[in-house]
Amino acid sequence: MSDLKLNKTIPSFSLEGTNGSLSIPSDAEGKKLIVYFYPKDSTPGCTNEGIDFTEAYSQFKDLNVVIYGISRDSVKSHENFKKKYNFSFDLISDPDEIACNLFGVMKMKNMYGKQVRGVERSTFLINENGELIKEWRGVKVNGHIQEVLEFLKN
């Protein structure tokens, strides 16, 4: 479970990503920040989600939004994933589940009839002041990016 509360400032944290060390939320100061968590690089749903964010990237940029994708995969895996699909944003590696635990996205899931602990696909919107203003948990990829854009525009 997450200690984060809507309309409250999120604690700062730093992790390695495809563009070196990134500090959240301070590296996005003065901009809105989307932090989305996904289970695994190069899997169908995660690939589609990354492609959808990339296809809408210019719209997010016009709305003064920075995007970071986070999973437990290594920086090397992220670099390959980002390059292969030409993602327009950085991916952050969280092997020790620092951000995953902060945002409360680690869940027990059924995989092939077995219970496994994994990342629940989730998206968080943080405003220019570092405050969490919206969260989407248990995200289904189809239509999600459009839903996020609609929220930002309204």
List the catalytic residues: 46
Number of residues that make up the chain = 154
60 located within any domain: yes
147 located within any domain: yes
39 located within any domain: yes
Look at 26-30, 76-80, 91-95, 128-132 and tell me which has the smallest mean pLDDT: 26-30
> How many CA atoms are closer than 13 Å to the CA of 43, on its beta-carbon side?
10
pLDDT band for 3, please (50, 70, 90 cuts).
confident
What would the pLDDT profile of 26-62 be if each residue is shown by its tens digit? 888 899 999 999 999 999 999 999 999 999 999 999 9
Token duo for residue 133: 């203003």
Q: What's the total number of domains in the chain?
A: 1
Cβ atoms within 10 A of the Cβ of 16, count?
15
58 located within any domain: yes
pLDDT > 60? residue 1? no
CATH number at residue 55: 3.40.30.10
